[in-house]
Amino acid sequence: MFSKIKTNKKTVLDVLDTLENIIGVSMFFMMIMFLVFNVCSWWFAKKRFGQLEEAVTACLVWISYINMGSHYRRKQHIRVDFLLTKFSLRNQKIADIINDIFTFIIGMVVFYFGSKLMLRSRNKYTGVLKICYLWIDLGLVIGFGNLLFNIIYRYLPHKKTKVVKILKEE
């Protein structure tokens, strides 16, 4: 029984990626289905549904933020690569560290105020579907929490950090 567990090693990042993909794909699928139904109802019956528009907005919030951390870890976020390639390797690493520091600070601010917003909005509901805004804002908090986790995980001692690599090159 334990041999199966040992051979099927999954890191924390693999589990997070799987969860992010499941949530992101299911929200994306629901958003597309709601949009198609709403567009078709407008096209054929000249009637739009406010419930579907609210559900699409909630799904879009979750899709926008849920995979932010994994994209940052894989370097799939917006970067200024054409400038970084002009730098030496050492300066590129320093620029990455500075980028991580600024992203971490901004992420902490958004995570803190997003958490406060989420907790305050537990008594506030959307107009038509009466979805609690806590569940919509939770996507923002999870997304930025994931981003912060991935920035911290990059510099944990289980890997050689960029700072150590820079110091060894000198």
DSSP assignment of 81-139? HHHHTTS-HHHHHHHHHHHHHHHHHHHHHHHHHHHHHHHHGGG-B-SSS--BHHHHHHH
Mean pLDDT of the chain: 84
Is the pLDDT at 54 greater than 80, yes or no? yes
State both tokens at 58: 């909630």
Question: Which residue has tokens 């060894």?
Answer: 168
Is the pLDDT at 96 greater than 70, yes or no? yes
pLDDT band at 83 (very low <50, low <70, confident <90, very high): confident
Cβ atoms of residues 138 and 23 within 8 Å: no
Q: What is the pTM of this model?
A: 0.76
Is the pLDDT at 159 greater than 90, yes or no? no
- pLDDT for 10 equals 65
